[in-house]
Structure 1
Amino acid sequence: MAISQRLDMRQGQSLVMTPQLQQAIKLLQLSNIELAEFVEAEIERNPLLERGEAGDREDYSAEEIQPTSKREELTLDDSSALNEAREAMDASKDDLYESGTNSDSGQTANEMSGPSAKTDWSQAGSGGSFSSDDFDFEGSLSSEKSLHEHLHDQLKMSGLSQADQLIGSRLVDETDDAGYCKVDIDEVATALGADPANVEAVLEVCQGFEPTGVMARTIEECLALQLKERDRFDPAMQALLENLDLVAKVDIKALCDVCGVDKEDVTDMMSELRTLTPRPGAAFSSGPSIAVAPDVFVREMPNGMFAVELNSDTLPKVLMDKAYYAEVSTLPMREKEKEFITECAQNASWLIKSLDQRARTILKVASEIVRQQDAFFAHGVAHLRPLNLKQVADAIEMHESTVSRVTSNKYMGTPRGLFELKYFFSASIPGTGGGEAHSAEAVRYRIKQLVDDEGEQVLSDDQIVEILTEFGIEIARRTVAKYRESLGIPSSVQRRRKLKASA
């Protein structure tokens, strides 16, 4: 076969990400702390940018959401890769994240009012603030994990339901640097709308995390957890822990009386106590703790509705100094200087618009999450609804990838506590007879409640299926078994044996 050259023409489609679009996407996924650092760096780099005052910032209005008992299911259509590319291409135009959003006086309640006189909305040109020189090598290096990060990682791998993980996240956040979780179980249960026994059970699971003894409420409980792991927590050792004041005084005679052992045993037990760690969290990084600030607030109104609004304290105040730009533009300059000033103006106007769109998008996504999960805010964790990214994306006419970025590292301050937006997403279990679907986490919660309340009548997986069916939940026996195992609940046979052994 002869080797020859030829010229072919091919037609295809490709997505070109402009530097400005890359910047908009990057800003959307930053946390409020990272965003503040980024904006400060841009202000130092761009002479046309300046910090604005509180009155210069756009007014983001809150939206009131009425709690509902039922919600119609959304009709979801699969998007092809070509449609995704087209949506992303459209995002590089006037509207960065959403399609069909107008910015006149007819905009929706959770969007901003029109631009202020000091905001330049002209689209930037070919300039951009992203290049390979911006890569932060030191920032990419791994750093030592904090105790809270370590506990949150274990919580994600614990197999707990989403509802229980919400409880566990609250307990982890209440844990101090020494590793103690000094919380009032009833207060946490009331705040989350959960059963105190369930909160206690979640805390017990969390107390099994590493390091041993972590998330104990008292030093006695901390030492007991470590002794139980060593299989050394007997009645004598328990009595010793209940009298740590005598241990501190080294009152051997009194300890022999309360523990019911001789002097040699007391001495050995005291020696073993000295090998334990009273501060299990001390081995972890104790750098400065940064409090997480909510990006949005959810408030319950007197009429039973929920108001969703942005946290104005986390929104950067950035303006473009148009007067300085007009003055500099009239000065005689070389070609490179003109290019620099023009690029600074383009970058400044694009950054302001990107920040504005970021705020609108976060508020829009958060408002839709509250609409979908209003039962949780009104009644508690047992009422979480099934929710995924596509449902939210379709409801607010955005792309799933946009919703995914918004829900990462963004927090919602609610009357029930502080939650990351992504915590409100869960799988669904179909309802019987084509009824309303149920959250998988809420189903797990029901299974746990059934087992906790079963008493002497131990329920089999088949019986649990029948009870859930009566509640309108269509679920297979193997799914019940999977959820039961993820909750750490033994089988009905094992529970019957344990019940007989304790009788």
Structure 2
Amino acid sequence: MKQSLQLRTSQHLALTPQLQQSIRLLQLSTLELHQEIEQILTDNPLLERLDDPLDHSVRLLADGAISSSTGNGEAPPAPPGQEQGAAADAPKPEGEGGDDGGDGDRDRGEADSDWGGEGGGARSGDDEDGRPQLEACSTTLREHLTEQVHTTGCGTRDRALAELVIDALDDNGYLEEPLDDIHARLPEELEVEMDELRCALALVQSLDPVGVGARSAAECLALQIRRMPGVPLVTRRLALKIVEGYLSWFAQREYTKLKKALDCDDEDLREVQAVVRQCNPHPGAAFGSNVSDYVVPDVIVRRAKNGWSVTLNPDVMPKLRVNAMYANLLKQGKSEMQMGAQLQEAKWLIKNMRQRFDTILRVAEAIVERQRNFFSHGAVAMRPLVLREIADTLGLHESTISRVTTQKYMLTPHGMFELKYFFGSHVATEAGGEASSTAIRALIAQLTGAEDPKNPLSDSKIAEMLGEQGMVIARRTVAKYREALKIPPVSLRKSL
């Protein structure tokens, strides 16, 4: 093959840094966006934020006094008896204002009591809420059980073995590792007998919460039933017999088999069911991390006179601007070339932030326009919607709509929803129209919620009832939607 040199012209798409930043900001969630902005503010001194969340927090001055920042650049009010133009930190002549520094202590005491920025040490009724609050450390399951072991008065060896068992518990309070394996891990020179480990396990199982230290769900329920007060003896015995030997039948609601095997009637099973429902199958879960994850909406939908109004949430919109001092230095040519690049980056970020929220608002308005029936009547009135429909309406690409609707939330009168919630596939109707899969799931939830517990609806019956309403849907599709709604099958929804 002969080698040669050729010149060729072609066109290709190149993503500029500004376009790459715009795409990145568009796909970030609210939390990720604020983290990104904080990092950019640290790296770029020409960019500053107007809505600093620490503007109104309590801060310490250089001399140790407490100052409440106003956040608008104004100086704090001068103390009584001091002129506005006087320097608060100016040193006083020696001997003035006291002979032994007592005035300094008095001034410091007044500063400590002036949390609300009011003179005279006056406190408002809610000044306690204005102080920074620290979250108390929650007690773990291991700490809770160890404290109880120390109060039992057992010996040092027994207490050490009990703590060994406690360390082997999982987050739900179960002992998943067999005692034989725990015994095999212990050094031989300790001469720990298996009976000692069993006694340590029994000690742990006697602690609070009831059911901790169980090796199975049946043992956990049995421990709680044995210590449950106010249960008749006959019902307690039957409940223990069921959870220890027939728990799978009881969970699958095989009541006919249970009545035949235990020679009992429906009334006995109802009493046992009431006792088992009082038990907690996860006794240690209450000591786990219960930190709630809060979702802040990006868009808020409210009812207006002419329909529905869509507005951006101002709490999630950071207010950015270019630092005026550095900008003036750049205009006068008194700065380096690097600051010129940082100025351009700051302008790009402000522009891309504005474009991000404008795009979110446009997409949200288009969604509300097409899903008006949902906002008026609920999920049963949801219509089919795909990304291409919104993209064609706004003149955007489908990938842009996908980025906008991911991890962006809308606050509506019916609750908080991700923007992707309003998009769904369609199911044909007998009239030739289309029904949204979201509306069908809402109808399934309504039908199962209003069914007779003694005679629940099967998937075939639900499909038949939906067909009577003009929605052609197969039984397996009903089963798929029911499982997505976390609705148990008909055998598990049946009650006595």
TM-score (norm 2): 0.51
Instruction: Pick closer, same or farther for the CA change 1:464–1:418 going to 2, 3 Å.
Output: closer
Q: Name the amino acid aligned to 2:17.
A: P
Instruction: Pick closer, same or farther for the CA change 1:318–1:484 going to 2, 3 Å.
Output: closer
**Contact 2:172 2:284 (C-alpha < 8 Å) held by counterparts:** no
SS in 2 for 1:4: coil
Q: CA deviation at 1:372?
A: 2.6
| RMSD between aligned residues | 4.6
What residue number does 2:101 align with?
A: none
**Contact 1:177 1:281 (C-alpha < 8 Å) held by counterparts:** no
What residue number does 2:319 align with?
A: 317
Please give the alpha-carbon distance, in whole angstroms, between the structure 2 residues aligned to 1:330 and 1:7: 50
Matches within 5 A, 1:293-308: 293-301=296-304, 303=305, 305-308=307-310
Q: Name the amino acid aligned to 1:432.
A: E
What residue number does 1:22 align with?
A: 20
Please give the alpha-carbon distance, in whole angstroms, between the structure 1 residues aligned to 2:295 and 2:7: 55
What residue number does 2:401 align with?
A: 403
Q: CA deviation at 1:275?
A: 11
Task: Tell me which structure has the larger Cα radius of gyration.
Answer: 2
Please give the alpha-carbon distance, in whole angstroms, between the structure 1 residues aligned to 2:411 and 2:488: 36
SS in 1 for 2:391: helix
Q: CA deviation at 1:395?
A: 2.2
Matches within 5 A, 1:319-338: 319-322=321-324, 324-331=326-333, 337=336
**Contact 1:318 1:352 (C-alpha < 8 Å) held by counterparts:** yes
What residue number does 1:444 align with?
A: 441
**1:389 paired to 2:391:** no
Instruction: Pick closer, same or farther for the CA change 1:392–1:331 going to 2, 3 Å.
Output: closer
**Contact 2:210 2:223 (C-alpha < 8 Å) held by counterparts:** no
**1:340 paired to 2:327:** no
Please give the alpha-carbon distance, in whole angstroms, between the structure 2 residues aligned to 1:391 and 1:305: 21
Please give the alpha-carbon distance, in whole angstroms, between the structure 1 residues aligned to 2:334 and 2:456: 88
Please give the alpha-carbon distance, in whole angstroms, between the structure 2 residues aligned to 1:306 and 1:177: 47
SS in 1 for 2:296: coil
**Contact 1:297 1:413 (C-alpha < 8 Å) held by counterparts:** yes
**Contact 1:239 1:258 (C-alpha < 8 Å) held by counterparts:** no
Please give the alpha-carbon distance, in whole angstroms, between the structure 1 residues aligned to 2:297 and 2:412: 9
Instruction: Pick closer, same or farther for the CA change 1:13–1:421 going to 2, 3 Å.
Output: same
Please give the alpha-carbon distance, in whole angstroms, between the structure 1 residues aligned to 2:303 and 2:215: 44
**Contact 1:46 1:344 (C-alpha < 8 Å) held by counterparts:** yes
Instruction: Pick closer, same or farther for the CA change 1:281–1:389 going to 2, 3 Å.
Output: farther
Aligned match of 1:292 in 273, 288, 295? 295
What residue number does 1:31 align with?
A: 29
What residue number does 2:167 align with?
A: none
Please give the alpha-carbon distance, in whole angstroms, between the structure 2 residues aligned to 1:257 and 1:450: 40
Please give the alpha-carbon distance, in whole angstroms, between the structure 1 residues aligned to 2:471 and 2:140: 43
SS in 1 for 2:431: helix
**Contact 2:300 2:410 (C-alpha < 8 Å) held by counterparts:** yes
Q: CA deviation at 1:5?
A: 0.2
Please give the alpha-carbon distance, in whole angstroms, between the structure 2 residues aligned to 1:498 and 1:326: 72
What residue number does 1:373 align with?
A: 371
Matches within 5 A, 1:123-138: none
**Contact 1:413 1:419 (C-alpha < 8 Å) held by counterparts:** yes
SS in 1 for 2:471: coil
What residue number does 2:283 align with?
A: 278
**1:351 paired to 2:383:** no
Q: CA deviation at 1:25?
A: 1.0
Instruction: Pick closer, same or farther for the CA change 1:39–1:453 going to 2, 3 Å.
Output: closer
**Contact 1:237 1:259 (C-alpha < 8 Å) held by counterparts:** no
Q: CA deviation at 1:276?
A: 6.6
Aligned match of 1:230 in 217, 228, 234? 217
Please give the alpha-carbon distance, in whole angstroms, between the structure 2 residues aligned to 1:386 and 1:230: 44
Please give the alpha-carbon distance, in whole angstroms, between the structure 1 residues aligned to 2:412 and 2:479: 34
**Contact 2:330 2:340 (C-alpha < 8 Å) held by counterparts:** no
Please give the alpha-carbon distance, in whole angstroms, between the structure 2 residues aligned to 1:255 and 1:489: 31
| Cα deviations by residue, 1:43-76 (Å, 9 ceiling, x for unpaired) | 332232222369xxxxxxxxxxxxxxxxxxxxxx
**Contact 1:298 1:308 (C-alpha < 8 Å) held by counterparts:** yes
SS in 2 for 1:474: coil
Please give the alpha-carbon distance, in whole angstroms, between the structure 2 residues aligned to 1:260 and 1:498: 24
Q: CA deviation at 1:304?
A: 7.1
**Contact 2:51 2:318 (C-alpha < 8 Å) held by counterparts:** no
Q: Name the amino acid aligned to 1:329.
A: K
Q: Name the amino acid aligned to 1:404.
A: S
Please give the alpha-carbon distance, in whole angstroms, between the structure 1 residues aligned to 2:400 and 2:356: 10
Please give the alpha-carbon distance, in whole angstroms, between the structure 1 residues aligned to 2:462 and 2:237: 48
| Cα deviations by residue, 1:342-390 (Å, 9 ceiling, x for unpaired) | 2122111111101111111111112222223332322223333222222
**Contact 2:456 2:493 (C-alpha < 8 Å) held by counterparts:** no
Matches within 5 A, 1:14-413: 14-52=12-50, 230-231=217-218, 243=228, 246=229, 277-280=282-285, 282-283=287-288, 291-301=294-304, 303=305, 305-322=307-324, 324-331=326-333, 337=336, 339-413=337-411
Deviates more, 1:353-362 or 1:445-454: 445-454
SS in 2 for 1:433: coil
Instruction: Pick closer, same or farther for the CA change 1:471–1:309 going to 2, 3 Å.
Output: same
Instruction: Pick closer, same or farther for the CA change 1:498–1:260 going to 2, 3 Å.
Output: closer
Please give the alpha-carbon distance, in whole angstroms, between the structure 2 residues aligned to 1:319 and 1:233: 60
**Contact 1:223 1:277 (C-alpha < 8 Å) held by counterparts:** no
Instruction: Pick closer, same or farther for the CA change 1:256–1:460 going to 2, 3 Å.
Output: closer
**Contact 2:18 2:348 (C-alpha < 8 Å) held by counterparts:** yes
Q: CA deviation at 1:440?
A: 1.1
Please give the alpha-carbon distance, in whole angstroms, between the structure 2 residues aligned to 1:304 and 1:424: 22
Q: CA deviation at 1:312?
A: 0.8
Q: Name the amino acid aligned to 1:295.
A: D
Q: Name the amino acid aligned to 2:285.
A: P
Please give the alpha-carbon distance, in whole angstroms, between the structure 2 residues aligned to 1:416 and 1:324: 48
Q: CA deviation at 1:274?
A: 12
Report the identity percentage: 41
Please give the alpha-carbon distance, in whole angstroms, between the structure 2 residues aligned to 1:472 and 1:423: 24
Structure 1 spans left out of the alignment, 5+ residues: 55-175, 180-209, 214-221, 247-253
Instruction: Pick closer, same or farther for the CA change 1:47–1:231 going to 2, 3 Å.
Output: closer
Q: Name the amino acid aligned to 2:341.
A: E
Where relative contact order (Cα < 8 A, 6+ residues apart) is larger, the structure is: 1
Q: CA deviation at 1:279?
A: 3.8
